[in-house]
Amino acid sequence: MKVTMKYFASIREAIGLASEQRQTEVTTLGALRDELIALGGAYADSLARGKAVRLALNQVMCQESAVLVEGAEVAFFPPVTGG
């Protein structure tokens, strides 16, 4: 299935992309995160399992167990603190 990923803040800066589309066979947000980590480089560094990363599916905050659907928009971003 084709999904669109959007990257925000420090994740966007590390990866060097604001968004991209990919074909994937995985079915959950967590599996998609793992697929991106497996690409290595900036993906592995910024999305690593030890790092706090928030995820949204179609503009709704979700757990990694959320199920992907064709044409989904997935957002990855670090936790945000206010001042």
| Full pLDDT tens readout for the chain, 83 residues | 999 999 999 999 999 999 999 999 999 999 999 999 999 999 999 999 999 999 999 999 999 999 999 999 999 999 875 55
User: Does residue 50 contact residue 57 with C-beta atoms inside 8 Å?
Assistant: no
Residues 6+ positions from 31 with CB-CB distance below 8 Å: none
The candidate with the shortest Cα–Cα distance to 76, out of 26, 30, 27, is: 30
Contact 4, 68 (CB under 8 A): no
Residue ranges and CATH numbers for the domains of the chain are: 2-77 (3.10.20.30)
* pTM score over 0.85: yes
How many whole angstroms separate alpha carbon 51 and alpha carbon 54?
A: 10
